Amino acid sequence: MRSTVHSFRTPDGVTLGVEHFGDAAAPLVLLAGGTTMHSWPDALCEALARGGRHVVRYDLRDSGASTTVDPEAPGYTLRDLAADAAALARALDDRPAHLAGIGVGGMVAQVAALDHSDAFSALTLVGTRPVAPGPVDDDLPDHDAATMDRWFALPMPDWSDRASVAAFSAAGAEILGDDPVAARATAERIFDRTPGAEPAVQMANQMGMVFAKLDCTPRWRERLPEIAIPVLVVHGRRDPFFPVGNGEALAREIPGARLLVLEQVATAIPDAAVDEVAAAMLAP
């Protein structure tokens, strides 16, 4: 299925790199995870479009083709990112959009659904948790310590070298339990489409670190019972970054939420799980 790529300018003057799948059907907005829009696999975007959705995935600020200023000191908050999602959804269609967030993008999606409830008709949360980056609530499982030690021990690549960046991403994926071949291919695509050579490539690959620097106050977990739209929570049983107990907590605390646990999945959505995830997202 062919896709179209362009940019969208928010009312705040921020440019977002955007890709569309499908035509003028019900809109479905995909919030990126720790890198760029490519945290949502092509196969899933195409399956959702075949299911009758106008699928739009985009790069968050300071990643990919979106506005990049200073990821070391982001001049925006988590709620600004949520407002970006709402502005994009409203520009796509008069109808509210289905919003989906993966990883740290799932945190943005929760806040967007709470702060801009009129813009969204449904919510999907994949591999995320109900609190901001940083210290975790006592009742939630934190990152797997041994996995994180191995992950952070990886030597940084030469960010100006495509092969070095791809090898670094593949090694990290193997530690996390994801497919290193797929991670390598995704890193190469991110490198190729990120303008500005070394600095921009580094920014794109460090988006998760940008989140650690964001102002994410006030907390939103206590507001989760306010969400009144259909919610699907998807989580990998083998996820060491946000262990599955985080997804289970979301499903408990959001009224009527459905929980789909992918038994053989870690942090990324593999091609083998695309049909199951797409069917759950498309279910009424």
pLDDT tops 60 at residue 51 = yes
Q: Answer for the pair 243, 141: CB distance below 8 angstroms, yes or no.
A: yes
pLDDT for residue 242 = 97
**Token pair for 61:** 């600020």
Q: Answer for the pair 107, 38: CB distance below 8 angstroms, yes or no.
A: no
Strand 15-21 vs strand 53-58: parallel, antiparallel, or unpaired?
antiparallel
Query: Of 55, 64, 62, 116, which is closest to residue 85 (Cα–Cα)?
Result: 116
Query: Of 58, 68, 108, 88, which is closest to residue 211 (Cα–Cα)?
Result: 108
Residues in the chain: 284
Q: Answer for the pair 21, 36: CB distance below 8 angstroms, yes or no.
A: no
- What's the gap between Cα 206 and its chain centre? 13
Q: Looking up tokens 């399956």, which residue turns up?
A: 47
| Average pLDDT of span 45-58 | 96
Residue 169 phi, psi (nearest 5): -65, -40
11-20, 28-37, 187-196, 259-268: lowest mean pLDDT where?
A: 187-196
**All domains of the chain in start order, with CATH:** 3-142+197-282 (3.40.50.1820)
Cis before 141? omega within 30: no
Query: Of 46, 97, 105, 107, which is closest to residue 277 (Cα–Cα)?
Result: 46
Tally Cβ neighbours within 10 Å of residue 123. Answer: 23
pTM of this prediction exceeds 0.85 = yes
21 vs 210, which has greater pLDDT? 21
Q: Answer for the pair 168, 183: CB distance below 8 angstroms, yes or no.
A: no
Q: Answer for the pair 8, 15: CB distance below 8 angstroms, yes or no.
A: yes
pLDDT for residue 191 = 83
DSSP state of 240: S
Helix axis angle, 145-152 to 162-176, nearest 10°: 170
Is the backbone of residue 91 left (phi > 0), alpha (psi -120 to 50) or beta?
Answer: alpha
Q: Answer for the pair 116, 127: CB distance below 8 angstroms, yes or no.
A: no
| Average pLDDT of span 140-168 | 92
pLDDT for residue 276 = 98
9-23, 33-47, 56-70, 227-241: lowest mean pLDDT where?
A: 56-70
List, as own/partner pairs, every contact residues 155-162 make where C-beta atoms lie below 8 angstroms and the sequence separation is at least 24, other chains included: 159/198, 159/199, 159/201, 159/202, 159/205, 160/197, 160/198, 160/201, 162/188, 162/191, 162/192
pLDDT for residue 161 = 84
Tell me the pLDDT of the chain averaged across its residues.
Answer: 91
Of the pLDDT bands very low, low, confident and very high (cuts 50, 70, 90), residue 206 is low
Q: How confident is the model over 96-125, as pLDDT tens digits?
A: 999 999 999 999 999 999 999 999 999 999
CA angle 188, 191, 195 (to 5 degrees): 155
pLDDT for residue 159 = 78
pLDDT tops 90 at residue 73 = no
Of the pLDDT bands very low, low, confident and very high (cuts 50, 70, 90), residue 35 is low
**CA-CA distance, 237 to 266, in Å (whole number)?**
6
